[in-house]
Protein backbone atom coordinates (compact mmCIF):
# COMPACT_ATOMS: atom_id res chain seq x y z
CA UNK A 1 0.00 0.00 0.00
CA UNK A 2 1.37 3.35 -1.00
CA UNK A 3 0.52 6.59 0.81
CA UNK A 4 0.38 9.62 -1.42
CA UNK A 5 3.03 12.26 -0.64
CA UNK A 6 0.41 14.93 0.22
CA UNK A 7 -1.27 12.53 2.64
CA UNK A 8 2.11 11.93 4.32
CA UNK A 9 2.65 15.70 4.48
CA UNK A 10 -0.75 16.30 6.13
CA UNK A 11 -0.25 13.36 8.48
CA UNK A 12 3.14 14.75 9.51
CA UNK A 13 1.75 18.26 10.01
CA UNK A 14 -1.13 16.87 12.09
CA UNK A 15 1.22 14.95 14.35
CA UNK A 16 3.45 18.03 14.69
CA UNK A 17 0.40 20.12 15.66
CA UNK A 18 -0.64 17.63 18.36
CA UNK A 19 2.90 17.52 19.77
CA UNK A 20 3.08 21.35 19.76
CA UNK A 21 -0.26 21.58 21.60
CA UNK A 22 0.85 19.12 24.27
CA UNK A 23 4.15 21.00 24.56
CA UNK A 24 2.50 24.37 25.12
CA UNK A 25 0.13 22.96 27.74
CA UNK A 26 3.04 21.27 29.55
CA UNK A 27 5.12 24.47 29.40
CA UNK A 28 2.25 26.55 30.80
CA UNK A 29 1.62 24.08 33.61
CA UNK A 30 5.24 23.50 34.63
CA UNK A 31 7.38 26.47 33.62
CA UNK A 32 4.85 29.24 34.22
CA UNK A 33 3.48 27.83 37.47
CA UNK A 34 -0.14 27.59 36.33
CA UNK A 35 -2.12 25.56 38.83
CA UNK A 36 -5.70 24.57 39.40
CA UNK A 37 -7.84 25.99 42.18
CA UNK A 38 -7.62 23.67 45.16
CA UNK A 39 -8.27 23.76 48.87
CA UNK A 40 -4.67 24.58 49.85
CA UNK A 41 -5.91 28.01 50.98
CA UNK A 42 -8.37 26.31 53.30
CA UNK A 43 -12.10 25.97 53.36
CA UNK A 44 -14.92 27.87 54.99
CA UNK A 45 -18.65 27.34 55.21
CA UNK A 46 -20.17 29.77 52.68
CA UNK A 47 -23.17 30.49 54.88
CA UNK A 48 -20.98 31.25 57.91
CA UNK A 49 -18.68 33.97 56.53
CA UNK A 50 -20.05 36.45 59.07
CA UNK A 51 -18.62 34.22 61.84
CA UNK A 52 -15.17 33.79 60.24
CA UNK A 53 -12.43 35.83 61.99
CA UNK A 54 -11.13 37.33 58.71
CA UNK A 55 -13.99 37.19 56.21
CA UNK A 56 -16.49 38.73 58.66
CA UNK A 57 -14.57 42.02 58.24
CA UNK A 58 -12.77 41.76 54.88
CA UNK A 59 -10.00 44.20 54.12
CA UNK A 60 -6.25 44.85 54.23
CA UNK A 61 -4.10 43.68 57.14
CA UNK A 62 -0.38 44.14 57.67
CA UNK A 63 1.30 40.86 58.63
CA UNK A 64 4.98 41.85 58.39
CA UNK A 65 7.33 44.48 57.10
CA UNK A 66 6.05 45.30 53.60
CA UNK A 67 3.78 42.23 53.74
CA UNK A 68 0.02 42.51 53.62
CA UNK A 69 -2.95 40.19 53.43
CA UNK A 70 -6.17 41.19 51.71
CA UNK A 71 -9.35 39.31 52.54
CA UNK A 72 -11.97 39.69 49.78
CA UNK A 73 -15.52 38.35 49.45
CA UNK A 74 -17.05 38.63 45.96
CA UNK A 75 -20.84 38.61 46.01
CA UNK A 76 -23.49 39.12 43.39
CA UNK A 77 -22.55 41.76 42.01
CA UNK A 78 -19.70 43.47 43.90
CA UNK A 79 -16.35 42.89 45.60
CA UNK A 80 -16.14 43.47 49.37
CA UNK A 81 -13.86 45.42 49.61
CA UNK A 82 -13.09 46.75 46.17
CA UNK A 83 -16.33 48.00 44.66
CA UNK A 84 -17.73 50.69 46.99
CA UNK A 85 -14.26 51.51 48.33
CA UNK A 86 -11.01 50.57 46.60
CA UNK A 87 -8.56 48.11 48.09
CA UNK A 88 -5.49 50.21 49.00
CA UNK A 89 -2.02 48.72 49.46
CA UNK A 90 1.39 50.40 49.63
CA UNK A 91 3.91 50.31 46.80
CA UNK A 92 6.94 48.08 47.39
CA UNK A 93 4.90 45.45 49.20
CA UNK A 94 4.07 41.78 48.87
CA UNK A 95 0.33 41.20 49.00
CA UNK A 96 -1.47 37.90 49.54
CA UNK A 97 -5.12 37.86 48.52
CA UNK A 98 -7.47 35.42 50.28
CA UNK A 99 -10.71 35.24 48.33
CA UNK A 100 -13.90 33.21 48.84
CA UNK A 101 -17.52 33.51 47.80
CA UNK A 102 -20.60 33.23 49.91
CA UNK A 103 -23.10 32.79 47.10
CA UNK A 104 -22.05 31.57 43.62
CA UNK A 105 -18.90 30.92 41.61
CA UNK A 106 -17.09 34.16 40.78
CA UNK A 107 -13.80 35.14 39.22
CA UNK A 108 -11.17 37.37 40.77
CA UNK A 109 -8.79 39.05 38.35
CA UNK A 110 -6.60 42.07 38.95
CA UNK A 111 -6.25 43.50 35.46
CA UNK A 112 -2.72 43.81 34.03
CA UNK A 113 -1.23 41.49 36.67
CA UNK A 114 -0.84 37.72 36.99
CA UNK A 115 -3.60 37.58 39.62
CA UNK A 116 -6.45 35.54 38.20
CA UNK A 117 -8.37 32.84 40.02
CA UNK A 118 -11.73 31.18 40.16
CA UNK A 119 -13.60 31.82 43.42
CA UNK A 120 -15.63 28.83 44.55
CA UNK A 121 -18.02 28.99 47.52
CA UNK A 122 -16.46 27.17 50.46
CA UNK A 123 -12.88 27.27 49.14
CA UNK A 124 -10.37 30.00 49.93
CA UNK A 125 -8.30 30.92 46.88
CA UNK A 126 -4.90 32.34 47.84
CA UNK A 127 -2.80 34.37 45.40
CA UNK A 128 0.38 36.36 46.16
CA UNK A 129 1.87 39.21 44.12
CA UNK A 130 4.37 42.02 44.51
CA UNK A 131 3.45 45.62 43.77
CA UNK A 132 6.56 47.74 43.28
CA UNK A 133 5.21 51.01 41.87
CA UNK A 134 2.11 53.11 42.53
CA UNK A 135 -0.65 52.27 40.08
CA UNK A 136 -4.36 51.67 39.79
CA UNK A 137 -5.76 48.29 38.76
CA UNK A 138 -9.23 47.12 37.93
CA UNK A 139 -10.87 44.16 39.64
CA UNK A 140 -12.90 41.99 37.31
CA UNK A 141 -15.19 39.00 37.77
CA UNK A 142 -14.49 36.69 34.84
CA UNK A 143 -16.95 33.92 35.71
CA UNK A 144 -20.60 34.44 34.80
CA UNK A 145 -22.35 34.93 38.13
CA UNK A 146 -25.80 36.14 37.16
CA UNK A 147 -27.70 38.92 35.44
CA UNK A 148 -25.57 41.72 36.91
CA UNK A 149 -22.25 40.08 36.07
CA UNK A 150 -21.41 42.66 33.40
CA UNK A 151 -21.31 45.43 36.01
CA UNK A 152 -19.26 43.55 38.63
CA UNK A 153 -16.02 45.46 38.93
CA UNK A 154 -13.81 47.08 41.52
CA UNK A 155 -10.51 48.83 42.05
CA UNK A 156 -7.11 48.15 43.61
CA UNK A 157 -4.98 51.21 44.35
CA UNK A 158 -1.25 50.85 44.95
CA UNK A 159 -0.20 54.08 46.63
CA UNK A 160 3.20 55.41 47.76
CA UNK A 161 4.24 54.13 51.20
CA UNK A 162 4.11 57.65 52.71
CA UNK A 163 0.58 58.20 51.45
CA UNK A 164 -0.51 54.76 52.71
CA UNK A 165 0.92 55.43 56.19
CA UNK A 166 -0.73 58.86 56.35
CA UNK A 167 -4.05 57.36 55.28
CA UNK A 168 -3.81 54.53 57.78
CA UNK A 169 -2.75 56.86 60.62
CA UNK A 170 -5.78 59.03 59.93
CA UNK A 171 -8.17 56.09 59.84
Q: 143 by DSSP, 3-state: which?
A: coil
Neighbours of 76 (CB within 10 A): 16
**34-88 confidence digits (pLDDT tens):** 666 566 778 888 889 989 999 999 999 999 999 999 999 999 999 999 999 999 9
Residues 6+ apart with CB under 8 A from 71: 54, 55, 57, 58, 59, 61, 98, 99
**78-112 confidence digits (pLDDT tens):** 999 999 999 999 999 999 999 999 899 999 999 99
* pLDDT recorded at residue 38: 61
**111-141 confidence digits (pLDDT tens):** 999 899 999 998 999 999 999 999 999 999 9
* pLDDT recorded at residue 71: 95
Amino acid sequence: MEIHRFERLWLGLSILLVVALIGTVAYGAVAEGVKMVDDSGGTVQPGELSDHPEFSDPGVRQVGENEYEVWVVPRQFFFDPGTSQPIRVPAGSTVTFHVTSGDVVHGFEVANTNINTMVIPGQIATVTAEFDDPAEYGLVCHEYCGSGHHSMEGKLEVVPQSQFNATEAGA
